[in-house]
Amino acid sequence: MTRENLVNILLAVALLAAPLAANALGQAFYVTLATRIAILALAALGLNLALGLGGLVSFGHAAFFGIGGYAAGILAAHGFSGEPILFGLPGTVQMPVIWLVAVFTAAVVALLIGAISLRTSGVYFIMITLAFAQMVYYFAVSWPAYGGEDGLSVLVRNQFPGLNTMVPLNFFLICYVILLVAIALFALIRASRFGAALQAARQNEIRVATIGIGPFRIRLTAFVLSATITALAGALYADLNRFVSPSMLSWHMSGELIVLVILGGVGRLFGPVAGAALYVAFEFALGSLTEYWQFVLGLILLGTVLFVRGGLLGLFAGKARHG
């Protein structure tokens, strides 16, 4: 077993063991903290597919995170009130249905945003994804039906067949299982033909085109896949907080997602988990010390970028290996 695999297994076990222990000790707060880690890790995992494997520096993934969140919030609001959404379509409080809608909506939006943004590259791509996410943000802010700037509450956490989702541990387990499934999918994709083409296009676009693989379609597919995973995380996040607001769509959120990926280690299987754990731990530990914890976070982040290459997993699991 490689050192990276060992670290990965440790991370997976720790992320499960900590909330189980906290639950046994009656510390529900820590279960919620672990849930937050799992969900943010899932969101970052989505981004890692585009950013880590494809080299697509999307500064607009908050759009998909927020779309997932609003899908959950809007469906739940209608499911709760019984009013149809549009054309007699009903809302729902069933998580699996909500997830499907979140994933599908994000896929459609990502297809549109990706089709335009991927015509460009480099800084243009960064700025354009940012701008499109901002467009979605302003749309949410100025559309009053679902709370506008104030956001939208999810009165009762949505349901999952056979589980009481109001029990924090149950909801954690749902998120944890989804995270593990997503990690497994990520691993499969990375090792697949598609993954090979995507990673090759990151390293040498012209080479890939010259052997007859169009980088555009590969990247667009990756971008859409990536968006759907992040949107799923957004839907879960709405249920965790029982609240959605434009802040989920803000560019700050996009930045944070990139930070999670980088803190953990770009392109690493468990990088997002390590990044999210570190981030939430910072937020919790520093946040209890000072109101201005983001100042310290900024310094740490700056130090990481300038002096520590390869992120947390780079530090503990050695250099990334490529087949």
Tokens 């500064």 locate to 59
Q: How far apart are CA 103 and CA 97, in angstroms?
A: 10
Nearer to other proteins, 26 or 144 (CB): 144
Show the binding pattern over residues 233-262: x = contacts other proteins (CB under 8 A), - = does not: ------------------x---x--xx--x
The sign of the torsion formed by the CA atoms of 302, 306, 308, 310 equals positive
131 binds other proteins (CB under 8 A): yes
Q: Which stretch binds other proteins (CB under 8 A): 7-15, 36-44, 132-140, 232-240?
A: 132-140
Q: How far apart are CA 238 and CA 232, in angstroms?
A: 10
Amino acid type, 70: Y
Nearer to other proteins, 77 or 208 (CB): 208
H or E element: which one contains 121? none
Considering only residues 12 through 31, tell me which ones interact with other proteins, judged by CB under 8 A.
Answer: none
Considering only residues 258 through 277, tell me which ones interact with other proteins, judged by CB under 8 A.
Answer: 258-259, 262, 266
Q: Which DSSP letter does residue 52 get?
A: I
Show the binding pattern over residues 186-215: x = contacts other proteins (CB under 8 A), - = does not: --xx-xxxxxxx-xx--xx-xxxxxxxxxx
181 binds other proteins (CB under 8 A): no
295 binds other proteins (CB under 8 A): yes
The sign of the torsion formed by the CA atoms of 7, 11, 14, 20 equals negative
Nearer to other proteins, 128 or 179 (CB): 128
Q: Which DSSP letter does residue 192 get?
A: S
**Contact, 181 vs 188, CB < 8 A?**
no
The sign of the torsion formed by the CA atoms of 51, 273, 73, 181 equals positive
Residues binding other proteins (CB under 8 A): 51, 57, 59, 116, 119-120, 122-124, 126-128, 130-132, 134-135, 138-139, 141-145, 188-189, 191-197, 199-200, 203-204, 206-215, 218, 221, 251, 255, 258-259, 262, 266, 292, 294-295, 297-299, 301-302, 305-306, 322-323
